[in-house]
Amino acid sequence: SQQGEEDPQALSIQEGENATMNCSYKTSINNLQWYRQNSGRGLVHLILIRSNEREKHSGRLRVTLDTSKKSSSLLITASRAADTASYFCATKDTNAGKSTFGDGTTLTVKP
C-alpha cells in the first residue's frame, strides 16, 4: 500500500467553506509535500513541510505536521470552485530519493 494515505477519499463543500484533508504515513520522513491535480493533468506542487516544522502557511493553505502521530493536514480556507481537484500528499523517506504518494482526496467545491 501507499506510504501516504489521505482521508477522506472524497470531500464536497460549498464555496466559501473551509476544506480539511488529512494524510497519514508509516515511516520516518525527511519532508512531506502536498500536490494538487486537476482532472487529467499533471501535479502542481502546493507546499513542502520539513520534518522539523510543525505548521506552514501559503496564501489560503495551511499545512500541519505531527511526526509523533505520523500525520499531516492540509486546510484550504475560503474555498473557491477553482479549488476543485484531487489533492495528494507525498512523503520523502529520510534515506530515499523518491517520494511516495497516497491515493488522494478528491475535493469538489460547489459554486
Partner 1 sequence: DTGVSQDPRHKITKRGQNVTFRCDPISEHNRLYWYRQTLGQGPEFLTYFQNEAQLEKSRLLSDRFSAERPKGSFSTLEIQRTEQGDSAMYLCASSLVPTSGSVNEQFFGPGTRLTVL
Tell me if 56 sits within 8 A of 62, measured CB to CB.
yes
- Please report whether residue 96 would count as binding partner 1 according to CB under 8 A: yes
- Three-class SS state of 84: coil
Q: Which residue stretches of 29-97 are H helix?
A: none
39-78: which residues touch partner 1 (CB under 8 A)?
40-45, 48, 50
Shortest Cβ 15–partner 1 spacing (Å): 25
- Please report whether residue 31 would count as binding partner 1 according to CB under 8 A: yes
Shortest Cβ 4–partner 1 spacing (Å): 8
Report the candidate in 107, 108, 65 with the shortest Cα–Cα distance to residue 90.
65
- Give the bridge partners for 107, in sequence order: 11, 85
Shortest Cβ 64–partner 1 spacing (Å): 19
- Please report whether residue 22 would count as binding partner 1 according to CB under 8 A: no
Radius of gyration of the chain (CA): 13
- Using CB under 8 A as the criterion, which residues of the chain lie in contact with partner 1 when the complex forms? 2, 4, 30-31, 33, 35, 40-45, 48, 50, 88, 90, 92, 96-104
